[in-house]
Structure 1
Amino acid sequence: MQFQFENSFDVKEKIDSSSIAILPIGAVEAHGPHLPLGTDNLLAERLSTELAKRVNGFVLPTLPYGQVWSLRNFPGSINISNHSLINFIVDIGDSLYKQGFKTFAMVNGHLGNGTALKEAARVLFEKCPELRVFYFFYPGMNKAVAKVRETDAAHGTYFHACEIETSYMLYLAPEYVDMERAITDIPTIPISADVTPTPWEEFTSTAVLGDAKLATKEKGKYVIDIALDNMVKIIKRLSE
């Protein structure tokens, strides 16, 4: 169910029946020559839609901007602060709580949002104690990715416009992928990037962290389906 297309006369009864709100959260940032700036928004939106079908939830309008400090200097990137993102999410969660929702699930399409989402969830935990809050970022993906990846990861945590994220797009939003422009760029990321602020232009000029040419729809489906199953199980188990 798409929340923004409901009307005020009917929505209260539907909230009482469902009580699950799902918020896609993405970002606008560089994703190489073969993926659009809104890749993270598309992935969050389409994953949220599939999740809503399985848990009978509402999909809220996408929150399309994220914390993209590391890529903020690349053409097309739009960065907002963690502080702004936290406040925005807390306000949304508080409104949902007052409307009668019992579960607020954030489906995140951008790794850089993780710190803000976790902090917002903690604030809501104190402010709205009866609201169950989740912050999902492809739960279970690491083990699944290890089974389909053909190249070593450029970094232990980061994946971006690479074999994996491009595979996600080929599965969830293939019409926005231009595989003829996919490239291979496996940068050497210094260990210092894990312990001090490091703009990505210091180690990549493309924002691609891997071999996008190896992406396939099948790889994307394998990982996404596992992540989706995990989200459904978590929501159903903890929202009862």
Structure 2
Amino acid sequence: MGSAKEIIKMNRDEVATAIEEFPVAILPLGATEQHGHHMPLGVDIYLAEAMSRRLSERTGALMLPAMPFGYSWVWRDIPGTVSIQQHHVESIIKDVAHSVSRYGVKLLVLVNGHDSNKTSMKYAARELMDELDMPVIYMFYPNLEQIRSEICESPTWHGMVHACEFETSLMLAVKPELVNMEKAVKEYPEKPSLYGKSTISLGDLSKSGIYGDATLASKEKGEEMLEKYLDLMEALVAEAYDECNKE
């Protein structure tokens, strides 16, 4: 396993050499939004960066700077939140793809840390298929629930993970200095019948900003989950790259 190839720390010659060796780039996608009183607003950025860095170490792919903003409308009234429109997220992904394709990257890998980016990733990848001769694959914790349920003790809030045992454990593994477990709580808000069918949003439901039980989080759980997700991600990158070379 080598060191991560972060392009912001490399010069142009080093980037060119890395592309000749393995023409794959990773784009971490995050968001700036609340994650309870026990964690920073940059959780989705830190987690996307950590997964991307480790994936770069494993594969030799280039790691691009993380996208710090996503569609965070539900938290828009909480201090610190920055929300951009969903189609802007899609446009940024597409612009990045067009940029890296110009100098030899053959595969773009989107590593996402923010649930609401999933739609933008899917539609950007579909549009890029018709625009570029460079495939795009996108990942948000592959087999998320299977791995989460094997390691975490608490259930999700209706299948969603936010500032809970899951994300808190991952943060304890990658940025423990930014997690204050003394402020971690358990909260499963009541789900209104119109939730998902109206503008009732997550920001209207939870008092703590937590959906689940953050008190059960641990660094050990986070590390174990990260390794399992990275094993899957590494295999998916290898499969996608092999497909590129068949064409």
Whether the TM-score (by the shorter chain) exceeds 0.5 is yes
* Residue 231 (structure 1) aligned with residue 233 (structure 2): yes
Overall identity of the aligned pairs, in %: 36
TM-score when normalising by structure 2: 0.92
184-193 vs 219-228, which moves further: 184-193
Question: Could you report, residue by residue, the CA deviation over 1:127-146 in whole angstroms, capped at 9, with x for unpaired residues?
Answer: 11x31211110001210111
Residues 127 and 215 (structure 1 numbering): CA distance in 2 closer, same or farther, change over 3 Å? same
* Residue 14 (structure 1) aligned with residue 21 (structure 2): no
The letter of the residue matching 2:20 is D
Question: What does 1:40-59 correspond to in 2, within 5 Å?
Answer: 40-59=44-63
> Retained in 1: the 8 A contact 2:149–2:155?
no
Give the drift of 1:193. Answer: 2.0
- Secondary structure, aligned partner of 1:192: coil
Aligned residues: 238
- Secondary structure, aligned partner of 1:146: helix
Question: What does 1:1-240 correspond to in 2, within 5 Å?
Answer: 1-128=5-132, 130-156=133-159, 158-240=160-242
Structure 2: segments with no counterpart, 5+ residues = 243-247
Tell me, in whole angstroms, the C-alpha distance in 2 between the residues paired with 1:74 and 1:230: 35
> Retained in 2: the 8 A contact 1:167–1:220?
yes
Structure 1: segments with no counterpart, 5+ residues = none
Give the drift of 1:207. Answer: 1.3
Residues 202 and 7 (structure 1 numbering): CA distance in 2 closer, same or farther, change over 3 Å? same
72-81 vs 86-95, which moves further: 72-81
Aligned to 2:245: none
> Retained in 2: the 8 A contact 1:159–1:209?
yes
The letter of the residue matching 2:190 is T
Give the drift of 1:10. Answer: 4.0
190-199 vs 108-117, which moves further: 190-199
Question: Could you report, residue by residue, the CA deviation over 1:189-238 in whole angstroms, capped at 9, with x for unpaired residues?
Answer: 23432333322232112210011111011221222211111110011012
The letter of the residue matching 1:119 is Y
Superposition CA RMSD, Å: 1.3
Give the drift of 1:162. Answer: 0.7
- Secondary structure, aligned partner of 1:127: coil
Question: Could you report, residue by residue, the CA deviation over 1:29-81 in whole angstroms, capped at 9, with x for unpaired residues?
Answer: 01111100101100001110000011111110111001111222222211000
Question: Could you report, residue by residue, the CA deviation over 1:86-107 in whole angstroms, capped at 9, with x for unpaired residues?
Answer: 1111010011111110110111
Residues 10 and 217 (structure 1 numbering): CA distance in 2 closer, same or farther, change over 3 Å? closer
TM-score when normalising by structure 1: 0.94
